[in-house]
Amino acid sequence: MNRRDLFRQTLLGAAAAAVSQAREIPSDYDASKELARSDWKPVFFDAHQNETLVVFAEIVIPTTDTPGAKAALVNRFIDLVLAAETSDTQRKFLDSLSFLDGESFARHRESFIHLAPEQQTDLVTYMAYPHTLETWDENVPTAYKGHTHFSNLKDWISRAYYSSPVGMQALGYTGSPGGVFEGCK
């Protein structure tokens, strides 16, 4: 077998595999409806991790004159995305959630979701800024590791929130300025 035949067989085999695994999605399919179902269950998180994320996300993006992270179903979207992510990305996210609970236990002898709302906000505020025990400075080489975990969680939450319909409305996005794209004719 020459190189050309080998390449052709490889290409045809890959195309056949892609076609056999392809799934037809209806044109009116709306994934957000699946996330909003009343019987929704986490795919990746366990119940405690999910609830921790819900509480933390609502502190980071609270309900004000616009809906917050809880109304945007940020936890459900992140759960779905993490279920498809690499094990390294999953581990980093879970490490950040675990750090939050670890700090909560170290300071208050309770998991984060069982703290009083003021204690939850104080802990999140403490983690939000880089510091050492002596100074608040992001350039200190031995800075508090909680800030890194806070930043990781906040990044996931803000991306999930501002890509949701609720988040886009909060930003004032009303749709494409040119209307619906009709495509080439």
| Better pLDDT: 178 or 38 | 38
Is the per-residue pLDDT at 18 higher than 90? no
pLDDT band at 35 (very low <50, low <70, confident <90, very high): confident
- Tokens representing residue 70 in the block: 């809880």
Q: How far apart are CA 183 and CA 22, in angstroms?
A: 24
Average of per-residue pLDDT across 103-118 = 96
pTM score, whole prediction: 0.76
Amino acid at 129: Y
Instruction: Note the pLDDT tens digit of each residue in 130-184.
Output: 776 565 555 555 567 888 999 999 999 999 999 988 888 888 887 766 666 677 7
Give the three-class secondary structure for 38: coil
Q: Is 39 exposed, middle or buried (0-12, 13-18, 19+ CB in 10 A)?
A: exposed
